[in-house]
């Protein structure tokens, strides 16, 4: 099953790095959507079928925590897997993210770390061809 992914980050460079890391992770990808803030991300979620959201916390207009609250509060999106990809170091904020049912990957990260979080939240299987894609890119940090 290919995942339709939404990447929400106010940095275009970071969105590109997250997408590159996704491709290196070997996770099957469908459509990729991007948004520069939580408000734009919410609009994408309303217009497209999204299987996974990769979300930064610190953004203008609507931050990641607010977007996560909106996603969980809407019956149509409440079960969409969300992984926060952030430099956040506050244990209390990370615990809140987990309580809202989201995964957390700390920047900088490697493709295998992102892959592990995606597999855990989506229930995708770890096929051999996907594992070899990650193994060949073990040294990449993003």
**141 lies in a domain?**
no
Q: Is residue 61 part of a domain?
A: yes
User: What pLDDT shows up at residue 1?
Assistant: 82
Helices 91-99 and 64-73: crossing angle in degrees, nearest 10, is 20
Residue 45 located in a structural domain: yes
Matching residue, tokens 């060949």? 136
CB 109 within 8 A of CB 142: yes
Q: Note whether residue 142 is domain-resident.
A: no
Beta bridge pairs of residue 53:
6, 82
CA atoms within 13 A on the CB side of 70: 17
Predicted structure pTM score: 0.86
**What is the C-alpha separation between 21 and 113, in angstroms, rounded?**
10
Count how many domains the chain has: 1
Per residue in 64-89, pLDDT (tens digit) is: 999 999 999 999 999 999 999 999 88
pLDDT tens-place string over residues 32-60: 999 999 999 999 999 999 999 999 999 99
* Residue at 43 is within a domain: yes
The CATH number that applies at residue 60 is 3.40.50.2300
Domain hosting 71: range is 3-135
Position 136 pLDDT exceeds 80:
no
């Amino acid at each position: 099953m290919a995942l339709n992914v939404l990447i929400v980050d106010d940095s275009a460079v970071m969105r590109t790095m997250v997408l590159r890391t996704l491709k290196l992770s070997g996770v099957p990808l469908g459509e990729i959507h991007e948004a520069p803030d939580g408000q734009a991300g919410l609009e994408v979620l309303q217009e497209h079928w999204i299987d996974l959201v990769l979300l930064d916390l610190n953004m203008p207009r609507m931050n990641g925590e607010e977007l996560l609250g909106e996603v969980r509060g809407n019956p149509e999106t409440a079960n969409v897997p969300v992984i926060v990809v952030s430099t956040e170091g506050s244990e209390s904020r990370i615990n809140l993210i987990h309580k809202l049912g989201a995964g957390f990957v700390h920047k900088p990260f490697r493709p295998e770390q992102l892959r592990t979080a995606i597999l855990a939240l989506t229930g995708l299987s770890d096929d051999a061809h996907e594992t070899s894609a990650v193994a060949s890119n073990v040294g990449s940090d993003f």
